[in-house]
Structure 1
Amino acid sequence: MKPTFYLLLAFLSFSLNAQKNIHHRWDRMLQEYVDESGQVNYKSWYQNQDNLDAYIKTLSNLPPHESDSKNSKLAYWINAYNALTVQLVLKNYPLESIKDIKDPWEIKCFNTQEKSYTLGEIEHEILRKMEEPRIHFAINCASQSCPNLWNKAFQEKQLEAQLVCVTESFLKDKSKNEIYPTRLKLSRIFLWFGKDFGSKEERLEFIQRYSGVRLSNPKIDYLPYDWSLNK
């Protein structure tokens, strides 16, 4: 029995370490192919897709456990969504927009032991149901009007600070939102997913908190959405 026990202990230890370090490979790729403004060098990445494919395979083999923390699950699925989006673009490269791909969010692109997922399912059935509205500024749809693809992997221990950073960055980026005390020109993310931010008053409080602009009964409009590739 003892050899079996120690083998099991070693396996569990290996699994825990693998999960702890699971996103390091993705972090290195982001630093290599994504600049500080979120623009992606798809041309170079297209020439070297092996690391990306290997990372996604690792994710599929190490899905979150029920006992994992909420932040661990969020980091896993945010990183998975972003990596799968890049992989989808590279599989169809060259292209000018993710919308050049037929129904890009409805393609089964990720398998775990339990289920196959589309990008839409990851976003709507997993991430949005975790009731963390800031995920909308962490996931990237490979388009200019999307929140930038951050050039760091999301990590369980740093997730709160990371979500604050990407949310503030998105709201303060005047190419994505124009925020003044009495007038808002917002990203359509706030139109499409408005209920994720609560009531109108709660949405305004959210925008005020992360933009740093004190609002006074502002008029609200929405900016056009640029679906051209983030390159």
Structure 2
Amino acid sequence: MPTVNSIPKDIHTPKDIDCVALSGLLLQQLQLSLQQVRQVNTKDGVDAKDGAEASDPFEAIQRLSTADLAQCLTTDQARKTFWINLYNALYQMLRYQMLRRDRNAPRKGIFTMPAIELADVTLSLDDIEHTLLRGHRHKYSLGYLPGFPPAPAVLRPLMIRKPDYRIHFALNCGARSCPPIAFYRAESIESQLDLATLSFIEQDTEIDTRQRVVRISRIYLWFLADFGGFRGIRRILGQTLGQSFDSLRIRFKTFDWTEELEKWS
């Protein structure tokens, strides 16, 4: 992966740089910048986090059009890598921008506000998650209904073709119950998502053999169809943990929305 300082200033098309690697660079620079700011200024509690502003990788991504991205993101592996990295970086950037204006700012609206302006379209976090990563599914339908209205034509080439429930173990929305942030690469995205799934399930799943209950994250409920319904959840848990869950009742745990930024893996 190239370094942040190796990014040319005149990037305009995917021919100039690997746009998938660019999303990883954005996360890399964001983490380093936040660490540097925290070391310099911690006297006021929540600090300014100036490092969470636009960076060279961010500006390079903004100069790309949807047509540019369509040329670069030609496989589901590339699409998943790019959009997961970008989502996780943008959430941190947006949230620190909100806290810089008001250190008590609520998170309300962060998922629907403009998150990034590409050369020809503006995207929100919801656009990235529910349209591009989930194949344009309705946010509040547990995954059973398509999004409405239909996805814009310019976004359709950038959407994943085959839904992948593992993305829910990779996206971080700044809450304590969210999975941690990892740096994903297209060449290893499948094994990385397998590892993220294994890690989340092992740490989060609570099995009560006496009451014949398994308690799991509410993420499974919010995206029930993505996981294949209750039968699919039992299959995923069984394959991951190496035991049968057919006789256990499923209970969903309360989601802890306590803010926890910079939750790096």
Instruction: Give TM class, smaller chain.
Output: 0.7 to 0.9
CA 1:204–1:118 in 2, change beyond 3 Å: closer, same or farther? Answer: same
CA–CA distance in 2 between the matches of 1:170 and 1:97?
Answer: 30
Unmatched runs of 5 consecutive residues or more in structure 2: 1-10, 36-41, 136-159
* TM-score normalised over the length of structure 2: 0.68
Aligned residue type for 1:155: R
Moved more, 133-142 or 215-224: 215-224
Q: CA deviation at 1:60?
A: 2.5
Report the equivalent of 1:17: 17
RMSD: 3.0
Q: CA deviation at 1:216?
A: 3.7
Partner SS state of residue 201, structure 2: helix
Alignment of 1:143-222 (within 5 A): 143-150=175-182, 153-173=183-203, 176-179=204-207, 182-222=212-252
Aligned length: 209
Greater share of helix residues, 1 or 2? 1
Report the equivalent of 1:65: 70
Q: 1:78 aligns with which of 84, 87, 95?
A: 84
Report the equivalent of 2:173: 141
Contact between 1:71 and 1:156, CA under 8 Å: does it hold in 2? yes
Report the equivalent of 1:128: 134
CA–CA distance in 2 between the matches of 1:195 and 1:71?
Answer: 21
Q: CA deviation at 1:191?
A: 0.6
CA 1:16–1:74 in 2, change beyond 3 Å: closer, same or farther? Answer: farther
Identity rate of aligned residues, in percent?
22
CA–CA distance in 2 between the matches of 1:110 and 1:192?
Answer: 25
CA–CA distance in 1 between the matches of 2:14 and 2:112?
Answer: 34
Aligned residue type for 1:120: D
Q: CA deviation at 1:220?
A: 1.0
Deviation per CA, 1:186-230: give whole Å up to 9, x if none.
Answer: 111001101001132222111222234432421111111111111
Aligned residue type for 1:53: S
Contact between 1:75 and 1:159, CA under 8 Å: does it hold in 2? yes
The structure whose RCO (Cα within 8 Å, separation 6+) is larger is 1
